[in-house]
């Protein structure tokens, strides 16, 4: 049997029942596991993915959801089908897409962060023909005071 490999393409001879699949097999999503944000400020919540396939904006789909705790139902924060971005009722105009689809960046900003915004944020992405949906999870902690720096450095 003769097999020739190219990225994401497999070829096999018709006389064999064996198929060899080469190239990528999944999507990776990169996020910070937790982010601290100061109450009243703007925070960027980042999500970047890698895929074996170039994004086709007609088929691409992503959404962000929010959970107050792990036991709560996920609420939509923002979804993007193709090139249309729709923010949710809960966050309204405080949510803005801040990513760059050409760079597989699905980040968004949340302005005027409130204590009630603290919770778990989920980034979901589908990039057909990838068969796996990518998923990233970020814990947002809202603080009321900036972190204190050490008052002196001692040698």
* pLDDT by 10s per residue, the chain, length 155: 333 333 333 333 333 332 223 455 578 999 999 999 999 999 999 999 998 888 888 888 899 999 999 999 999 898 877 656 666 778 888 999 899 988 999 999 999 999 999 999 999 999 888 888 899 999 999 999 887 876 656 55
The answer to whether 108 and 35 are in contact (CB under 8 A) is no
Distance CA 111, CA 91 (A): 9
pLDDT score recorded for residue 9? 34
| Tokens coding 10 | 């497999």
| Tokens coding 101 | 């689809």
SS3 content of the chain, % helix, strand, coil (to 5): 5, 40, 55
**Cα 123 versus chain centre, distance:** 4
Distance CA 62, CA 134 (A): 9
The CATH number of the structural domain formed by 26-143 is: 2.60.40.10
The domain locations on the chain are: 26-143
pLDDT score recorded for residue 24? 59
The answer to whether 18 and 12 are in contact (CB under 8 A) is yes
Bridge partners of 9? Answer: 6
**Residue (of 147, 56, 141) closest to 102 by Cα position:** 56
pTM over 0.85: no
Which segments within 18-90 are labelled E, that is strand?
A: 28-30, 34-38, 43-45, 48-50, 61-67, 75-81, 84-87
pLDDT score recorded for residue 23? 55
């Amino acid at each position: 049997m003769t097999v020739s490999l190219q990225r994401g393409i497999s070829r096999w001879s018709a006389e064999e029942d064996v198929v060899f699949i080469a190239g990528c097999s999944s999507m990776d999503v990169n996020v910070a596991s937790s982010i601290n944000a100061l109450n009243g400020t703007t925070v960027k919540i980042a999500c970047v993915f890698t895929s074996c396939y170039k994004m086709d904006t007609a088929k691409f789909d992503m959404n962000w959801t929010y959970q107050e705790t792990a036991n709560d139902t996920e609420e939509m924060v923002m979804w993007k089908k193709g090139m249309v971005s729709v923010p949710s009722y809960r966050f309204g105009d405080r949510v803005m897409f801040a990513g760059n689809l050409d760079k597989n960046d699905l980040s968004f900003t949340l302005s005027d962060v409130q204590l009630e915004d603290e919770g778990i944020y989920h980034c979901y992405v589908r990039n057909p023909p990838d068969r796996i949906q990518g998923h990233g999870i970020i814990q947002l902690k809202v603080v009321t005071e900036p972190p204190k720096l050490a008052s002196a450095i001692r040698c």
